[in-house]
Amino acid sequence: MDDTLLLQKYHGLGNDYLVLDPNKNKIHLLERHIVKLCRRNIGAGADGILYGPIWQDEKLYVKIFNPDGSEAERSGNGVRIFAKYLLDAGYIRHRPFSLYTKAGEVRIDFLNEDGSLMKVNMGIPQFTGGVLAYVGTPPEIINRPLVFHGHPYRATCVSMGNPNCVIHLDEISKEKAMELGPYVENASYFPNRINMQLCKVMDRGHIRVEIYERGAGYTLASGTGACAAAAASHKLGLVDDRIEVTMPGGQLLIEIGEDGSVFLTGEVQKIGTILMAEHFLA
């Protein structure tokens, strides 16, 4: 390996990630590297970086980084993209398999031969404690009024391994998500910051979502965001067990199991291979 940097780029519904394989690159990845690589004008451009595979205690791990250099606990699109990369690169052959993130295990099952369509067990959503880390609020926030940018909103907070604040509204838009998102992400209620989903229930089997992600900003789609919005809507009795989630980048299918587990089904696609110039990260 020399000083060049080999990356693979994939997307899930327009939510794009760079895969940086430490087994194929000689790099000590730093926060400033992540920020520069994700920049769309001076770098490769992405909503985040997937760093792996990493083997630890006979388990297969991936580290997920936001464009600001912070590490995410989990990403629904990210784990699907990384699973596709593992299949493409020949790291895995058996199906289904387990992948581990900072938030723990996810179970992934490919639904077609090339691995572009898969179903992921994202675990049981948590509505109390954990990574949500509220300050000065009740241990459970379900359809409670919280004040953001000087206005009260009915919010439901749920962890899918990462923290999410779901706000149900009669009308949602990109403009509203971009206006409100920074205030929700950085609200004093959430010292570790939080992801925001604006959610409109269309009917009992369909919701629409606009997303503002912690450390990334407005995004076209989010797997964990879709799961959080569906789980919150289900908790409030607004939807049934099978929910189509429409985001600007496309649709994901979310299913709620009998034990409360959330299953995410969706596609990912490879964009291409990127060879960065020598000394790009110098």
Is 213 annotated among the ligand-binding residues? yes
User: How long is the chain?
Assistant: 282
| DSSP state at residue 86 | H
Q: Is 121 annotated as a binding residue?
A: no
- Element holding 17 (H helix, E strand): strand 15-20
By the 8 A CB rule, do 223 and 266 touch?
Answer: yes
**Cis peptide preceding 53, ω within 30 of 0:** yes
Does 195 appear as a known binding residue?
yes
Question: Is 162 labeled as ligand-binding?
Answer: yes
Q: Is 15 annotated as a binding residue?
A: yes
77 annotated to a ligand binding site: yes
224 is in an annotated binding site: yes
Q: What is the DSSP letter of 142?
A: S
Strands (DSSP E) along 43-174, which ranges? Answer: 49-56, 59-65, 71-72, 97-101, 104-110, 117-121, 144-148, 151-159, 163-168
Is 225 a known ligand-binding residue?
no
Q: How far apart are CA 20 and CA 54, in angstroms?
A: 11
Annotated binding site for substrate: 15, 66, 76-77, 162, 195, 213-214, 223-224
Annotated binding site: 15, 66, 76-77, 162, 195, 213-214, 223-224
